[in-house]
């Protein structure tokens, strides 16, 4: 079994005994019940990480870890960003969780015109915080040391600018006869950035498709069936990781 991952605040420690405390230390000692001699990984979630061996514990929330040298995992290429329209209820957190576990590099919440859910004021800040917390926990669970960035909620204009700057940009289209073809068959870059838009349950509006098309994004179908907005991004990321060799 791979070693559990814990997040440290600040620089990742190297070549010394480190005290993991706070919520992470409490989880390690009281929930995971780690004991001396067990392996762990400490990371900042930004790519820096170190392997360690549990030396012991102090109380219920302090784990002593003998850590080795610090390593840095480079950002994978091509970089994959999913623009995720806001789903209803907790389906947004489900989308973030499964895309993180699959390997997405960045997630951009999008307030599409047909979204039932809209993030405004304190409610929006709370929802964004949940998405970011979900990405962090899913990153730990899937043993990642570079967690996906969850950006601030974007407008259609801001999404168009993101698409215009990508090396490959596409909008998942629910039409199984989409004339632009399928994501599984179009050429993809070996480097640079890929940005993919996942629309809401009601679909991307014709006006939004036009704006994204002007920015250089192709409307592409994912498959013969129509997936929910909360699962389409995960399926697409898995397909892209396989096709670009990142899952090789």
Q: How far apart are the first and last CA of the chain?
A: 21
1 falls in which pLDDT band (50, 70, 90)? low
177 falls in which pLDDT band (50, 70, 90)? low
33 falls in which pLDDT band (50, 70, 90)? very high
Domain assignment present for 248: no
The CATH number given to whatever domain includes residue 96 is 3.40.1280.10
- Length of the chain counted residue by residue: 248
> What's the pTM value of the predicted model, to 2 decimals?
0.94
Indicate left, alpha or beta for 18 from its phi (over 0: left) and psi (-120 to 50: alpha). Answer: beta
Closest by alpha carbon to 53, among 70, 63, 62, 66? 66
159 falls in which pLDDT band (50, 70, 90)? very high
HSE (side-chain half, CA atoms, 13 Å) at 149: 11
Domain assignment present for 217: yes
Q: Using the 3D structure, point to which of 39, 72, 105 is the last residue of a domain.
A: 72
Residues 180-230: tens digit of each pLDDT: 789 999 999 999 999 999 999 888 999 999 999 999 999 998 888 888 999
Count: domains in the chain = 2
Closest by alpha carbon to 95, among 184, 5, 198, 6? 198
Residue 120 phi, psi (nearest 5): -135, 140
Identify the domain containing residue 64 by its residue range: 5-72
Q: Are residues 93 and 65 in the same domain?
A: no
């Amino acid at each position: 079994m791979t070693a559990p991952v814990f997040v440290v605040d600040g620089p990742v420690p190297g070549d010394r005994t480190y005290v993991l405390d706070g919520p992470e230390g409490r989880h390690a000692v009281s929930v995971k019940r780690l004991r001396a001699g067990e392996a762990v990984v400490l990371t900042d979630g930004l790519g820096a990480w170190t392997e360690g061996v549990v030396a012991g514990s102090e109380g219920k929330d302090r784990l002593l870890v003998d850590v080795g040298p610090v390593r840095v995992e480079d950002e994978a290429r091509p970089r994959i960003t999913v623009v995720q329209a806001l789903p209803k209820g907790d389906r947004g957190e489900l989308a973030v969780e499964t895309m993180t576990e699959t390997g997405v590099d960045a997630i951009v919440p999008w307030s599409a015109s047909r979204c039932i859910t809209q993030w405004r004021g304190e409610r929006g800040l709370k929802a964004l915080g949940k998405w970011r917390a979900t990405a962090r926990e899913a990153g730990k669970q899937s043993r990642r040391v570079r967690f996906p960035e969850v950006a601030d909620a974007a407008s259609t204009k801001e999404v168009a600018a993101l698409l215009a700057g990508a090396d490959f940009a596409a909008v998942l289209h629910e039409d199984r006869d989409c004339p632009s073809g399928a994501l599984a068959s179009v050429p993809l870059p070996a480097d640079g950035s890929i940005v993919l838009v996942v629309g809401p349950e009601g679909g991307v509006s014709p006006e939004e498709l036009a704006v994204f098309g002007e920015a250089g994004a192709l409307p592409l179908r994912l498959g013969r069936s129509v997936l929910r907005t909360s699962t389409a991004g995960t399926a697409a990321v898995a397909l892209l990781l396989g096709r670009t060799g990142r899952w090789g």
